[in-house]
């Protein structure tokens, strides 16, 4: 009888511990999905998730990733045609455009399995939207 009780107690403990762990995974998945949706509103490129970190009990989740952005044009214009011609052979010779990636990070805060807060950590234009509004 004692063996049966001990086995039942161990099984119940395992079930209770694994139930607590599933909240962490559900919150991580929910934060990944929210990050993808919020990013798609501003950038149409596909987000590649590189890391998802969750705190104890999944109350705070940080999602890190990157997406491809078009390369920015040079801000300075060459004064002479010779300088401009000498600056482009590397690009012309290879014929390939270098891919530029923008790092992203977002933080989600949960209360149980309910999302209570979402904020961007990177890139800067998403993390500090007030800066764009004031300019």
Burial class (CB in 10 A: 0-12, 13-18, 19+), 35: buried
Looking at per-residue pLDDT, the higher value among 53 and 132 belongs to 53
Q: How far is CA 55 from CA 21, 28, 61, in A?
A: 11, 10, 6
Cis ω before 99 (30° cut-off from 0): no
Q: Would you list the domain boundaries of the chain?
A: 2-134
Q: Say if residue 5's pLDDT is above 50.
A: yes
For residue range 45-87, what is the model confidence (pLDDT) as tens digits?
889 999 999 988 889 999 999 998 877 665 555 454 454 444 4
* pLDDT tens by residue, 85-106: 444 445 555 667 788 899 999 9
Q: In what order do the strands lie in the sheet with 100-111?
A: 47-54, 60-69, 100-111, 114-122
**pTM higher than the cut 0.85:** no
């Amino acid at each position: 009888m004692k063996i049966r009780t001990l086995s039942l107690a161990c099984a119940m403990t395992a079930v209770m511990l694994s139930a607590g762990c599933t909240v962490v995974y559900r919150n991580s998945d929910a934060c990944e999905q929210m990050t993808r949706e919020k990013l798609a509103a501003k950038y149409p490129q596909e987000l590649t998730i590189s890391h998802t970190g969750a705190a104890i009990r999944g109350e705070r989740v940080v999602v890190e990733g990157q997406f491809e952005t078009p390369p920015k044009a040079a801000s300075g214009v060459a004064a002479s045609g010779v300088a401009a011609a000498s600056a482009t052979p590397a690009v012309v010779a290879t014929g390939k455009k270098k891919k530029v990636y923008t790092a992203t990070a977002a933080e989600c805060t949960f209360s149980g399995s309910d999302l209570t807060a979402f904020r961007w950590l990177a890139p800067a234009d998403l993390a500090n939207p007030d800066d764009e509004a004031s300019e």
